[in-house]
């Protein structure tokens, strides 16, 4: 606290670049031939493990995203002087402009492969919920338990996710369920799908800055419709629960969506 009663400026501290010191194994070195007995989740996890150990871009993106999260956390609660805020804003804009002349990632490694799971590790790393390369993500960690057919995860919502005082915004809780229930689709023989409906029941206020755990599971499948469920806890206290309907789609449709995205990207101009 400053002498005039203001809170001190909270600047992100430089993080140790532990990701950059990982084994120098490129993503391209992964064996692209999936084991016939390997589940989709196992396939994605195998690729993501290689992604973590890959040199260069991806670990650096994760490091940058983590630094931006620190800045967002500070910004939401700081009472810094106007001059300091404007100075930091100028620094951030200058940093952002450094990207304006850089090429965009229009075809991430693995996306062009035939497998439905191919490239999904990249999308997951950019997810606004679990993506370590996306500063918008809290991030959430999710791990499937194949024997129990349950997805288990954890998250601690920070200041950027606050709705009511001291509580996580309900929209972010719904997004958390969407991601976890969507992952639980892999326990169905129908495979992954896209969200049809999500129904969330908020039992108690969900606190920020408190470790939370989530569980999601497969209920049943009716044709292309997959029904899943989920629960969010603080300790043993049930905070919210959800039911979701997901519609499975063919891998060809995923490829079509990717082509549509490429077409949009070709016509997009850089805002900076």
pLDDT bracket for residue 39 (50, 70, 90): low
**Helices 40-53 & 57-77 angle (0-180, nearest 10):** 90
Residue 11 pLDDT exceeds 50: no
Q: Which long-range contacts (CB under 8 A, 24 or more apart) does 85-89 make?
A: 88/9, 88/11
Q: Are 50 and 24 in contact (CB under 8 A)?
A: no
Q: Is the pLDDT of residue 77 over 60?
A: yes
7 in Cβ contact with 37 (< 8 Å): no
- Other beta carbons within 10 angstroms of residue 61's beta carbon come to 19
Euclidean distance between CA atoms 117 and 39, whole angstroms: 9
* CA-based R_g, the chain, Å: 20
Spatial separation of the C-alpha atoms in residues 207 and 169, rounded to whole Å: 9
Domain boundaries, the chain: 1-138, 140-255
The confidence score (pLDDT) of residue 272 equals: 55
Range in 121-125, 126-130, 257-261 the model is least confident about: 121-125
Q: How high is the pLDDT of residue 238?
A: 99
Instruction: Compute the average pLDDT of residues 105-112.
Output: 47
Residue 14 pLDDT level (bands cut at 50, 70, 90)? very low
Which range of 32-46, 87-101, 111-125 scores highest in mean pLDDT? It is 87-101
Superfamily of domain 140-255: Hotdog Thioesterase (3.10.129.10)
Identify the pLDDT of residue 4: 43
């Amino acid at each position: 606290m400053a002498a005039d009663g203001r809170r001190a400026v909270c600047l992100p501290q430089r993080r140790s670049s532990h990701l950059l010191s990982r084994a120098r194994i490129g993503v391209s070195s992964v064996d692209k031939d999936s084991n016939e007995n390997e589940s989709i989740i196992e396939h994605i996890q195998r690729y993501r493990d290689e992604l973590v150990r890959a040199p260069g871009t991806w670990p650096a993106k994760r490091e940058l995203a983590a630094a931006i999260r620190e800045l967002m956390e500070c910004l939401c609660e700081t009472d810094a002087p106007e001059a300091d805020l404007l100075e930091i804003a100028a620094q951030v804009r200058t940093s952002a402009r450094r990207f304006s002349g850089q090429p965009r990632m229009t075809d991430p490694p693995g996306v062009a492969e035939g497998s439905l799971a191919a490239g999904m590790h990249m999308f997951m790393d950019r997810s606004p919920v679990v993506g370590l390369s996306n500063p918008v993500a809290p991030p959430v960690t999710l791990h499937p338990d194949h024997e129990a057919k349950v997805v288990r995860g954890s998250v601690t919502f920070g200041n950027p996710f606050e709705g009511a005082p001291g509580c996580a915004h309900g929209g972010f809780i719904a997004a958390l369920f969407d991601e976890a229930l969507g992952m639980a689709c892999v326990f169905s023989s129908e495979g992954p799908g896209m969200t049809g409906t999500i129904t969330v029941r908020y039992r108690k206020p969900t606190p920020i800055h408190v470790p939370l755990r989530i569980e999601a599971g497969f209920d049943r499948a009716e044709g292309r419709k997959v029904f899943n469920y989920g629960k969010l806890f603080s300790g043993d206290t049930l905070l919210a629960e959800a039911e979701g309907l997901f519609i499975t789609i063919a891998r060809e449709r995923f490829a079509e969506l990717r082509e549509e995205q490429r077409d949009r990207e070709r016509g997009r101009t850089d805002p900076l």
